[in-house]
Structure 1
């Protein structure tokens, strides 16, 4: 990944910006359980940068196996 991930928990908007996808795509991934693992802090959705890294790595591994 060209840009490093921040050392703080990411918002859905942060994730969309980092990956260059629409915000709605992040929410679709969550609904379909296909994106990085997220968690709630009250009503706020957050993503751990390490979980995002792992998810991206798994996508890259799948691409390499295809």
Structure 2
């Protein structure tokens, strides 16, 4: 019997929202940036909005999708 593999967050995000909150590592993988960049975005309030569950930082996939859409629209409007 094959063991289930964890889905690539980039693929899941493109095809539909994941059924779990995303970690900073997931965000780094999705945007292909170092995880340190994700923490800098949070510190500067420039990246997708995250929230804390206890000591853990998490991202709502719907907020990440909204962030990407807003960035795409801003780039389109600037051109």
TM-score w.r.t. structure 2 length? Answer: 0.77
- The RMSD of aligned alpha carbons is 1.1
More strand, by proportion:
1
**Aligned counterpart for 1:3 among listed residues 11, 16, 35:** 11
Structure 1 consecutive aligned stretches of length 4 or more whose deviation exceeds 6 Å: none
Q: RCO (CA 8 Å, sep 6+): is it higher in 1 or 2? A: 1
* Alignment gaps of 5+ in structure 1: none
In the alignment, which residue of structure 1 is the partner of 2:28? 16
SS across alignment from 1:10: coil
In the alignment, which residue of structure 2 is the partner of 1:33? 45
* Alignment gaps of 5+ in structure 2: 1-9
In the alignment, which residue of structure 2 is the partner of 1:65? 77
TM-score w.r.t. structure 1 length? Answer: 0.91
Q: Which has the larger radius of gyration?
A: 2
Aligned residue pairs: how many?
Answer: 65
